Structure 1
Amino acid sequence: MQVNINGIETRYVLSNEGGGPWLTFIHQLGGDLSVWDQLAGYFRNDYTVLRYDLRGHGKTALSREAFGMADLSHDLASLLDALGAPTTHVVGMSMGGMIAQQFALDHPSRVDTLTLANTFGGTRPESRALWEQRAASVREGGMASLVPSTMDRWLTPDFQHAHPEAVEPIREVFGHTLSEGYAMACEAVRDFDVRSKLGTIRCPTLTVAGRHDTGTPPADTQAIADAIEGARFELLDAAHLAPIEQSHRFAALLETFLERPV
């Protein structure tokens, strides 16, 4: 389905077989809503599951101007408004987790629970250049130049070898992401920092990290849990896409959390 959100044609998929509470999944930088296919299938009988493509990703149009996490948070709020969802459980992975944090800060009354996977609360000053370099690289050489290193960072070698059927769609989506959409999102990550505000989040929060995640070390995700009162931290045997690599374990953690939030 497509809907115009803040002047941008946005693709979303709504699975509401169960007609239950809303559960929204937000994908990673260089991904699209398909990364959540398996988990959406798991939860759709008990929840109204929403997935969507971020600006310049998947089948959502490219933004005409630069944007930050606050704009992406506003996109989610506008999408929920368009679909008639007053509140939702929110699950965000990587950059999706940054959007989820921003959304919880901007719209606290609309978040039932918050689940943050393989993400951090802010880009350190010394890391800003890395995101600028990544944006420049794709603008100059396209996405193909980043595919091998990204897959190796996202998924462990063992998982890539054992599950090529899961890896190939992720690789294909990344390689076909619009270079400018990816670059603009990199600049949004570069400027993201809500670490000083995390203590104001009051909703039940679950954070999940990957033991082998070199892009977002587990300590960065645990720092979010430490900053939010009552938040829970879990470590999975995975790399950066822990909810995908350890999908059964992640689903079990999320199911328990949604039923009995901390």
Structure 2
Amino acid sequence: MNAQPSTSSSITTGDGVRIAYRFDGEQGLPVLLLSNSIGTDLHMWDGQVPALTEHFRLLRYDARGHGASDVPSGPYSLDRLGRDVVELLDALGLQRVHVLGLSLGGIVAQWLGIHVPERIDRLVLSNTAAYLGPPQQWDRPIAELLEAPDMRATAEMFLRNWFPAHMLEGDNEVVEGFRRTLLATRREGVAGSWAAVRDYDLRRTAAIIPNPALVIAGEHDTVTSAGHGKELAATIPGARFTVLPTVHMANVERQAEFLDAVLTFLTERS
């Protein structure tokens, strides 16, 4: 297979925040936007790029507060995170894309299906939920993170929530990559994103998403449970639902099964 061309750049949003993005794959293919979880950057999808670029031109981006994007202080809102994507699509002249989002990325993808469904073709909502309340449960973790001396304790908490125990033993190269990203992420970005999760509730509005949707859940996910996924799939009209034997990072832990589910859904004829 020939090497796929890639380009990296950034845009500046209406509120002055620089959002970094990257294209991979051949021009002329349908565009698939990938949206990340909290505490990661666009490289969380690196393992899936070769298979996905056989079918799509990939558009990856670092959410505000993460990676090479700016890190504004204070709480973020889901509306702002969603508008970041819309402004990115506008700046790139993209009228309609597929969207694959995991965790917070899946929440942003739901927002897009609710507010700008005409910009979306198909939605894949992985390891995510329409609601992660009650809201007050997030206040203490946000405060403690902002008071912490660094990201070390939070990084280990994320890794325990993301991966099965056997992947955390020894020197797993993939896990170490996620650890490095977490340790390099500024606390303000994680805390601001947690505030967006604290304040959102799409349990009713997800019912107006008109786009074809696939919901993927992890059987052993303790962050966004299989129950959360089942409820979300039941809310979105006509949504499909599949459960993989994973914890939270289904794309990493069971890459082959994850890609099979995603590609089967995105490439089938209407």
TM-score by length of 1: 0.95
More helix as a share of residues: 1
Paired residue for 2:189, among 181, 185, 189?
181
Paired residue for 2:234, among 222, 226, 231?
226
2:263 is the alignment partner of 1:259: no
2:130 is the alignment partner of 1:121: yes
2:6 is the alignment partner of 1:3: no
Mapping for residues 24-103 of structure 1, pairs under 5 Å = 24-63=33-72, 65-103=74-112
Paired amino acid for 1:114: L
2:210 is the alignment partner of 1:202: yes
Cα offset, 1:66, TM superposition: 3.4
2:119 is the alignment partner of 1:110: yes
Cα offset, 1:162, TM superposition: 7.8
**Residue 211 (structure 1) aligns with:** 219
Coordinate RMSD, CA, aligned: 1.6
* CA offsets 1:58-114 (integer angstroms, 9 cap, x no match): 110012553211111110000011111101100110011111101111101011001
Which portions of structure 1, spanning 4 or more consecutive aligned residues, are displaced by more than 6 angstroms?
none
Given that 2:124 and 2:214 are in contact with CA atoms closer than 8 Å, whether structure 1 keeps it comes out as yes
2:252 is the alignment partner of 1:244: yes
Q: Describe the SS at the equivalent of 1:46.
A: coil
**Residue 136 (structure 1) aligns with:** 143
Structure 1 unmatched ranges of 5 or more: none
TM-score by length of 2: 0.92
Structure 1 residues 261 and 121, CA gap change in structure 2 (3 angstroms)? farther
Paired amino acid for 2:13: I
**Following the alignment from structure 2 to structure 1, what is the Cα–Cα distance between the partners of residues 171 and 52?**
22
**Following the alignment from structure 1 to structure 2, what is the Cα–Cα distance between the partners of residues 261 and 92?**
21
2:190 is the alignment partner of 1:190: no
**Residue 177 (structure 2) aligns with:** 169
**Following the alignment from structure 2 to structure 1, what is the Cα–Cα distance between the partners of residues 82 and 115?**
8
Q: Describe the SS at the equivalent of 2:228.
A: helix
Given that 2:48 and 2:259 are in contact with CA atoms closer than 8 Å, whether structure 1 keeps it comes out as yes
Identical-residue share of aligned pairs (%): 33
Cα offset, 1:18, TM superposition: 5.3
Given that 1:56 and 1:181 are in contact with CA atoms closer than 8 Å, whether structure 2 keeps it comes out as yes
Q: Mean Cα displacement is larger for which, 192-201 or 152-161? A: 152-161
Structure 1 residues 18 and 167, CA gap change in structure 2 (3 angstroms)? same
Structure 1 residues 2 and 18, CA gap change in structure 2 (3 angstroms)? closer
**Following the alignment from structure 2 to structure 1, what is the Cα–Cα distance between the partners of residues 171 and 236?**
35
Cα offset, 1:250, TM superposition: 0.7
Given that 1:18 and 1:45 are in contact with CA atoms closer than 8 Å, whether structure 2 keeps it comes out as no
Given that 1:19 and 1:46 are in contact with CA atoms closer than 8 Å, whether structure 2 keeps it comes out as no
